[in-house]
Amino acid sequence: MSKKKALTVRVLLSEQEIANRVAKLGQEITEKYADLGEPLILIGILKGSVIFLSDLCRAISLPVELEFMGVSSYGDETESSGVVQITQDLTRPIKGRHIILVEDIVDTGLTAKYLLKHFRSSEPASVAMCALLEKPGKSQGHILIDFLGFSIPDDFVVGYGLDFAGLYRNLPHVGIVETAD
Ligand code: PRP
């Protein structure tokens, strides 16, 4: 019988650490947009941002609308291909609206860079970026993250929306994938 490598996940950010930070991000966003006078649009990028977005939007004490964009850049690979494909578009116009792009992670920054440019071409009133995680040493080109959860080391992470070959998104924490013989 062949010996299969087992995957283990070492906790990097606990459920409680994430909850505390998300609550703070919600407060920051609430304060920054307090005088908006119209609903803010949070745009979650499928699929990874779904868990973060669902907690974040409930930490914001302002009227918000939710939109989703389907984007595929990795497939089942662990490294970015650099190719960004839109697989699902917004359902409403964003022209003249205040939007926040919500991502689970900015890794190489290629996806965020593409999406920010894409959204700006629709002439929203303002565009901001919110990401739970970023890998500072890895970003290609400068991506300004207005609302950031955590800077993390350049390890492959899963959980709280982030996957490995489609799995682990439902872990309540963020962990580093390790292989063991
Ligand atoms: C992940 C993540 C970001 C992107 C970031 O998505 O959700 O969208 O990669 O990587 P980058 O900064 O190197 O461009 P992925 O393509 O894995 O799809 P998923 O959200 O469906 O897991």
Q: pLDDT tens across 151-169, in order?
A: 999 999 999 999 999 999 9
What's the pLDDT score for residue 87? Answer: 92
3-class SS of residue 153: coil
SS3 (DSSP) at 165? coil
d(CA 181, CA 179): 7
Which residue stretches of the chain have pLDDT < 50? 1-2
For residue 58, the model assigns a pLDDT of 98
- Predicted model pTM: 0.92
Query: Long-range contacts made by residues 83-91, C-beta under 8 angstroms, separation at least 24?
Result: 84/110, 84/111, 84/114, 84/115, 86/118, 87/46, 88/46, 90/43, 91/67
Please tell me the CATH code under which domain 15-154 is placed. 3.40.50.2020
pLDDT the model gives residue 79:
58
d(CA 159, ligand 1 centre) in Å: 13
Q: Say which of 107, 146, 155, 181 is annotated catalytic.
A: 107
- Residue 106 CA: which ligand 1 atom is closest? 12
CA 97 and chain centroid, separation: 20
